[in-house]
Amino acid sequence: MSTDIDYSRLKDDLIIEYAKKRLIIEKKAAASNLSEVQRSMSLQMMKSIYTHLNCLESYENANSLDKALDAIDLAKIYESVDRREQEKTNTKLNYDDFVVLELLRYFKHDFFKWVNSPSCPCGSTDVSTVGVKRPDSANNPDQISIIEIHQCQKCHHQIEFPRINNPVSLLRTRTGRCGEWVNCFLLILTALIGEGKDRIRYVWNNEDHVWCEYYSSGLRRWVHLDPCEGVFDETLLYCDNWGKRMSYVIGFNKNSVVDLSKKYITKDKQIDQSSVADPSKVEKVITYYNVKKADDYLTQSKSIYSERESWKALYTDVFVPRNLERGELRTEEEATVSSDLPKGRQTGSVEWTKARGEDG
């Protein structure tokens, strides 16, 4: 009698069993919290989570990604990437990490421009905001959220500054504040290293700032990126360097929503979370959407692959990365800010950063 055991099949069986059980348990827990989740959706914080859930979808369009590659100087970027790789000082970094580092530099210094107030055609830069108006909702290809109206203090001419959300339009205008910067940067970053993968993350902060993260295969973790500041892997930039006080920081990638507050907010700069939204309710809302994302992922996989392959993919692409990051966020050592970073926020006027409590 043969006692041969197909270990590879056995391993798959165990993985599939785990994925099935886990999804059932998580769905049950989410169902029992449903009424509480629905009630808390009236809070502004939960609305913000809801609106960002699928924010990465706009970076998945193949046509948009092609346009991003057309808009940048690829030859220049890759030449610098090659040089960085040859000079390699951090042996943990892979080729992709050098692409990200170079894109941060290129985007800030050669591509995008920060704008507080647009300058006046008369040449004066003494321009200030006088109001806002709504865009034409019937015809809004640039996905403009609001149009700021600025006035020249010298010739009194009024200049409109539309706040554009369409990342492809931003490849053309190349101006804005942190929202536009992150929006356009993420499109290019996805085109260079993230197409079809779950390794790009939009990071939203309740105190009016956004940044991003990417999953580094070299460092084997999610790495902080602030395109406006050109800063790589400095999680305490906001609290320690800018002196910014924050309540919540939430990350949104393709397959997960993650509470990153502990990663970015130091104890002394932590705004009491319950003054914004009850932390246990926020946790339940995030859990609810993560269950939904896992379920959607499975449904989508089943429409393409076999039942077995779909459960395996749910395990490998959703559950394993979530488990790894959960462990990582728990054990993360106290990070420190590099001493070579200049103090305070580098983008925006002195008055503006001061008013926002970001002047260090």
Annotated catalytic residues are 178, 209, 226
Q: Which residue, 146 or 155, has its beta carbon nearer to Zn ion?
A: 155
Q: Nearest distance from residue 152's CB to Zn ion, in Å?
A: 3
Q: What angle do CA 66, 215, 67 make, to 5 degrees?
A: 10
Q: Nearest distance from residue 62's CB to Zn ion, in Å?
A: 43
Q: Which residue, 121 or 327, has its beta carbon nearer to Zn ion?
A: 121
Give CA–CA dist 225/238, Å, rounded.
Answer: 12
Q: Which residue, 90 or 128, has its beta carbon nearer to Zn ion?
A: 128
Give CA–CA dist 282/259, Å, rounded.
Answer: 9
211 DSSP β-pair partners: 203
Q: Nearest distance from residue 123's CB to Zn ion, in Å?
A: 7
Give CA–CA dist 179/253, Å, rounded.
Answer: 17
Residues 6+ apart with CB under 8 A from 69: 191, 192
Q: Nearest distance from residue 343's CB to Zn ion, in Å?
A: 34
Give CA–CA dist 233/213, Å, rounded.
Answer: 9
Give CA–CA dist 281/78, Å, rounded.
Answer: 46
Residue 162 main-chain phi, psi, to 5 deg: -75, 135
Q: Which residue, 152 or 236, has its beta carbon nearer to Zn ion?
A: 152
Contact footprint for Zn ion (CB under 5 A): 120, 122, 124, 152, 154-155, 157
Give CA–CA dist 93/242, Å, rounded.
Answer: 27
Q: Nearest distance from residue 131's CB to Zn ion, in Å?
A: 17
Q: Which residue, 16 or 115, has its beta carbon nearer to Zn ion?
A: 115
Contacts of residues 272-278 at CB distance under 8 Å and 24 or more positions apart, as own/partner, are 272/247, 273/247, 273/248, 275/247, 276/45, 276/206, 276/247, 276/248, 277/40, 277/43, 277/45, 277/46, 277/248, 278/40
